[in-house]
Structure 1
């Protein structure tokens, strides 16, 4: 069954555009992309819209903050093509991604809580002359094999320098921090490619303490995204009801 286009007041492209701070070209682009239903035409070929088109525009603009422009476009296109189940599937995928992002954040916070203050190595043989820890003592302290640390190095999780006298890998305090964080996340089931960007965030923040502010902002972004999804769902439901 096709959409129930309303027979009320006709709207021009500029009427839709002004209400949302858009250009008339943006309105035409949205129609061509399938975000809006096809416009009616006057005898002279000018586009005319109805309250249904206005509802579609409100739904799309409300969906974008929570789902992103690309997914919001796909959702509206599916609805306008009558494939409502496909639209719901896209929405479910966005919610699943948000849940996955929340779990990642929880894993990082849990890993940070589990990290104990790094103690200075006791044996003299565990420290290079230039300062830092060799691979054997660090692997032993973490309860892993040296080969694992070398694998983490290839994945970019740790970046040890080389001792100028022996050529051995030397891990400074930042490397030890990164290795311990990687170890906690690996124990939590995270893959190396998932851990690498999190380690990069720690480095960018300048350590664990500055990362706390970043984690707080991360929480805020996820909460804002969740609320935006609710707002988008409300407008989409209103549009679905109007379509009939």
Structure 2
């Protein structure tokens, strides 16, 4: 039974109404302003494990791995015609081929990690990840350059990519790579990047996807790895774990708020 004499769990609005009856107008306004100042911080976090923290902490710097395609080791997708795009499922610049797999949309939002949570407009995000078989274009698949693309953040700091759900290859938890550049004009070489990191995906969603046709190798690979043993995510995924909704039939949508120094 609810005890109406103990309403501490009924929220800020209820508390302010009670306070209004017990204090003068000037003091009430002070409390209201203090409460309002906290509201912009709600929901600024990245992913299911990082609520609130993206506004105060920069996403960890991570390795781009051996297949970045950013010019750092030869292959450079950033200079390809058509690389600035939202749908990254097909190859471009004279190559043909489309990656198959469960539909997957990523919505990445950049915010100022200095505590303001202000959206960062006009930055460029380069995203890449492996295909359904665990292979990377431009390296293992030399005749493909799909699953790579660049987008400019909008007024809300957000970029959206349409892709396929990545595989789990041996030795790594399923993940996506990204680099952040100050703007589109500088997103042509790794020398200009200001952040490199990786995105983690919830294990239960991965298990559901990998039970579908085409992902059979990922089932056994996932069974032999965990976040605690992964060489990138073993120190925690609080700022890198995406929130994923959807289904195999309808496709999945992953969202993550990423903090970087403005």
Same fold (TM over 0.5): no
TM value normalised by structure 1: 0.27
Structure that is richer in helix per residue: 1
TM value normalised by structure 2: 0.26
